[in-house]
């Protein structure tokens, strides 16, 4: 019996010794990881390293993820001693001014699935040892100075889904065995010096939906069965094949510009879902494409194809900026003459086009002036008619003042859904089922000149605005009892309310927030650049951005809006919402489009952060800040790379919009273009 007890005691002692040794080894390992990070990690502090921003640990405390973006390190990648983290699954150090070459020990981090060193200053040839990382799904080395030929051993990475090698100096051909990357979804080799032909095996990649080979020296054919891609850009190469696309074609983006492509364009007609099409600077023959045959097309360029003729049977798209369209406009003929020398055409365009455009601009300016005066006179006449006028632009023309009184039970508080800058907003559901929003100017406010001016100003401004992301004004009512505006009803209320509610904020996910910001940007770009004279809103805030049932953003509340007179100093009293007003208004009192740009930047940051950015505005102006410190903590961190890049783009644009010097801010047209890339 005592022998058995002794044996059990010895076994317990041995087990305890083994556990203590394991714990000690783990502690030593954790200590070495923390020590390695402390040497260079910018966000280190006294807390445990697993709590540091951008560091992700396993349940036992080992570092499995490192993510650092846009923080200046300015050192050799070798000096970061990343070999101290053998269990890394994800490693992303982007735009941190890293120098030198990628050390070979990176190829020993066998658990890596994500590896990104984009936007640094790394050099050398393609790191062949990276092909040992057989679990890798995401590889991004774009925006560096790598050179030499791409290694055929790249195809060892059979799990690879995303490969970004753009904006380097790679040369030589694309490896012919790329077809082995059967799971590849995204391939970007653009802006290198790659030569040779596009390998036939690329056409066998069944998962590939995005292919970007732009700005290289590729020659030969574009394979017709690449048309099953969603995105294809092979512009600025030396491709010279006849164009051929096969059905079904899933392309939404096609750019073949600046090559030597030949043949007719009719084969592209199988790509019915195209939204972007650029064919300029090639050798295509026959007729131009009839853009009306594409349902979703937003941009098309068929210019600088000398052997293309304009379509005689149908009008050209407004967005078709080809030479053929200019010929039609200037000569009054349906097609361009193929024998017209290029320099003669350019000469005529140089002389007559500015004259025609100037004349059209003057006509447009005169029409806007007449319309503005007519609206102002209409309001004045209707006000003088006994105060009992209701002008509602509706479907059947029968809605009157009494209909809204009945629908709101004489503006009962239970129908009130909010308060605007100079009145309350009510929901009015009429018998035929249509719901309107009524902004009612109260009796007291109607007797105040400033409120009355804002009310009539909003009518004048909105009457002339036509944009899908500007709230629609159906009409107005000037009555001896009360005055109100009749708007399109927005089911989701204001952006401020959506972000203030924890339940609604989670429903407004990252892409919905990015799209709302884009909607607002396009609306402001329209007001600033497509209206004559330009219109400045002067009160852009999250309270004045409304959301419909589809979570689309609409700019509202134009009571403070102002037309910009190019011949005036445009001095103004300070109006707007505190926290959104551009700082220069405090000392020069001059309103211009850059005031709206500043307010837009604040709203964009507020949308991403989930609350007003506050002190973050100063931080972004002075030193920059990590993405994790900006994001709304109520939503999970975006794991999808494309969504993360969209958010980063929004934050970069917003940071430029809130710059203290208004001259350094972008225009809203620039902002809209960047966000739509």
pLDDT at position 319 is 38
Do residues 483 and 507 share a domain?
no
Question: Tens digit of pLDDT for each residue in 446-456?
Answer: 445 555 556 66
| Span 202-226, average pLDDT | 86
> Quick one: pLDDT at residue 434?
83
Q: What percent of the chain has pLDDT over 90?
A: 32
Q: Are residues 587 and 654 part of one domain?
A: yes
Shared-domain flag, residues 503 and 610: yes
346 in any annotated domain: no
Give the Cα separation of 646 and 675 in Å (integer).
8
SS3 511: helix
- Say which CATH number the domain at 459 has: 3.30.200.20
pLDDT tens digits for range 158-174:
999 999 999 999 999 99
* Total domains, the chain: 3
Residue 232 resides in a domain:
no
Asked if residue 463 and residue 415 are part of one domain, the reply reads yes
DSSP 8-state assignment for residue 288: P
List the one residue out of 53, 94, 100 whose CA is nearest residue 72.
94
Q: Please report whether residue 144 resides in a domain.
A: yes
State phi, psi for 559 to the nearest 5 degrees.
Answer: -65, -30
CATH code for position 596 = 1.10.510.10
Residue 249 confidence (pLDDT): 87
In a domain, 117, yes or no: yes
Mean pLDDT, the chain, integer: 79
Last residue of a domain, one of 217, 245, 260: 217
pLDDT range class, residue 442, cuts 50, 70, 90? low
Residue 581 within any structural domain of the chain: yes
304, pLDDT greater than 50: yes
* Residue 619 sits in the same domain as residue 571: yes
Of 166, 282, 275, residue with least CA distance to 213: 166
Are 607 and 581 contained in the same domain?
yes
pTM: 0.48
Q: Which residue has the higher pLDDT, 227 or 329?
A: 227
Shared domain for 621 and 482, answered yes or no, is: no
To 10 degrees, the CA torsion angle through 652, 654, 660, 661? 80
Using the predicted structure, report yes or no on whether residue 457 has a pLDDT greater than 50: yes
Closest CA to 236 of 253, 219, 211: 219
Confirm whether 212 is a catalytic residue. no
Of 94, 212, 320, 539, the active-site residue reads 539
Q: Compare 446 and 515 and report the one with higher pLDDT.
A: 515
Establish whether 439 is an annotated binding residue: yes
Residue of 168, 172, 128, 171 lying closest to 145 (CA atoms): 168
Each residue of 11-53: pLDDT tens digit? 555 544 444 443 333 444 455 777 777 777 776 665 778 888 8
* DSSP track, 327-371: HHHHH--SS--TTS-HHHHHHHHHHHHHHHHHHHHHHHHHHHHHH
What are the tens digits of pLDDT across the range 473-484?
Answer: 887 776 656 778
Question: Which pair of tokens denotes residue 13?
Answer: 């002692």
Question: Do 510 and 477 lie in a common domain?
Answer: no
If asked whether residues 418 and 537 sit together in one domain, one would say no
Tokens of 592: 């211009």
**Does a structural domain hold residue 542?**
yes
Q: What is the pLDDT of residues 585-626, one digit of tens each?
A: 766 667 788 999 999 999 999 999 999 988 787 777 655 677
Same domain, 59 and 100: yes
Among 473, 488, 503, identify where a domain stops: 488
45 vs 485, residue with greater confidence: 485
Q: 3-state DSSP call for residue 580?
A: coil
Domain boundary among 459, 488, 517: 488
Crossing angle between the packed helical segments 668-675 and 593-609, to the nearest 10 degrees: 30
Tell whether 428 and 561 lie within a shared domain: no
- 200 in any annotated domain: yes
Compute the average pLDDT of residues 362-391: 58
C-alpha Rg value of the chain to the nearest Å: 31
Q: What is the average pLDDT across 266-271?
A: 87
Q: Are residues 549 and 448 in the same domain?
A: no
Q: Which range of residues forms the domain containing residue 659?
A: 493-676
3-state helix, strand, coil in the chain (%, to 5): 40, 20, 45
Length of the chain: 677
Is residue 229, in this structure, part of any structural domain at all?
A: no
DSSP state of 130: G
């Amino acid at each position: 019996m005592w022998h058995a007890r002794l044996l059990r005691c010895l076994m317990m002692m041995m087990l305890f010794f083994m556990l203590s040794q394991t714990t000690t080894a783990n502690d030593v390992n954790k200590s070495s990881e923390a020590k390695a990070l402390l040497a260079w990690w910018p966000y280190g502090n006294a807390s445990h390293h697993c709590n540091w921003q951008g560091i992700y640990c396993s349940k036992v405390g080992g570092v499995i993820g490192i993510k650092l973006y846009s923080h200046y390190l300015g050192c050799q990648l070798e000096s970061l001693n990343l070999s101290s983290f053998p269990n890394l699954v994800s490693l992303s150090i982007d735009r941190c001014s890293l120098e030198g070459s990628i050390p070979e020990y990176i190829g020993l981090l066998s658990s890596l699935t994500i590896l990104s060193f984009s936007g640094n200053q790394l050099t050398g040839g393609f790191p062949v040892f990276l092909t040992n990382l057989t679990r890798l799904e995401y590889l991004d080395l774009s925006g560096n100075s790598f050179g030499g030929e791409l290694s055929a051993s790249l195809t060892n990475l059979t799990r690879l889904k995303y490969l970004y090698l753009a904006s380097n100096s790679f040369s030589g051909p694309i490896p012919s065995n790329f077809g082995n990357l059967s799971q590849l979804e995204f391939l970007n080799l653009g802006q290198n010096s790659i030569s040779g032909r596009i390998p036939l095996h690329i056409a066998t990649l069944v998962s590939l939906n995005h292919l970007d080979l732009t700005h290289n020296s590729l020659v030969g054919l574009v394979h017709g069965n690449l048309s099953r891609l969603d995105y294809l850009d092979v512009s600025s190469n030396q491709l010279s094949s006849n164009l051929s696309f096969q059905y079904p074609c899933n392309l939404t983006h096609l750019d073949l510009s600046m090559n030597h492509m030949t043949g007719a364009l009719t084969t592209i007609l199988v790509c019915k879902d195209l939204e972007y099409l650029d064919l300029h600077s090639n050798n295509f023959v026959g007729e131009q494409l009839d853009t009306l045959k594409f349902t979703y097309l937003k941009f098309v360029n068929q210019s600088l194809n000398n052997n293309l003729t304009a379509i005689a049977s149908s009008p050209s798209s407004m967005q078709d900026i080809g030479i053929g369209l200019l010929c039609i406009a200037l000569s009054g003929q349906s097609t361009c003459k193929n024998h017209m020398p290029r320099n003669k055409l350019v000469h005529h365009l140089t002389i007559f086009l500015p004259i025609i455009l100037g004349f059209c601009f003057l006509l447009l300016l005169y029409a806007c002036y007449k319309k503005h005066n007519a609206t102002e006179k209409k309001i004045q006449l209707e006000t003088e008619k006994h105060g009992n006028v209701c002008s509602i632009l509706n479907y059947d023309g029968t809605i009157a003042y009494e209909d809204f009184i009945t629908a709101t039970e004489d503006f009962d508080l239970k129908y009130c859904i909010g308060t605007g800058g100079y009145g309350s907003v009510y929901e009015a559901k009429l018998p035929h089922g249509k719901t309107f929003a009524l902004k009612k100017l109260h009796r007291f406010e109607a007797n105040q000149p400033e409120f009355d001016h804002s009310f009539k100003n909003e009518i004048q401004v909105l009457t002339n605005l036509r944009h899908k992301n500007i709230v629609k004004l159906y009409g107005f009512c000037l009555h001896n009892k009360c005055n109100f505006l009749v708007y399109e009803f927005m089911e989701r209320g204001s952006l401020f309310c959506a972000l203030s509610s924890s339940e609604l904020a989670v429903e407004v996910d990252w892409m919905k927030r990015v799209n709302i910001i884009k909607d607002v940007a396009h609306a402001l770009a329209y007001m600033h650049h497509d209206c004559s004279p330009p219109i400045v809103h002067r009160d852009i805030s999250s309270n004045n951005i409304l959301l419909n049932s589809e979570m689309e953003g609409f700019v509202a509340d134009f009571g403070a809006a102002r037309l910009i007179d190019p011949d005036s100093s445009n001095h103004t009293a300070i109006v707007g919402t505190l926290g959104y007003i551009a700082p220069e208004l405090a000392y020069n009192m001059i309103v211009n489009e850059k005031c709206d740009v500043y307010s837009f930047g604040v709203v964009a940051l507020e949308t991403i952060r989930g609350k007003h950015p506050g002190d973050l505005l100063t931080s972004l102006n002075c030193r920059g800040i990590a993405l994790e410190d900006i994001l709304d903590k109520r939503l999970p961190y975006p794991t999808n790379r494309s969504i993360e890049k969209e958010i980063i783009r929004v934050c970069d644009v917003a940071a430029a919009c809130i710059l203290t010097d208004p001259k350094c801010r972008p225009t809203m047209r620039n902002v809209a273009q960047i966000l739509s890339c």
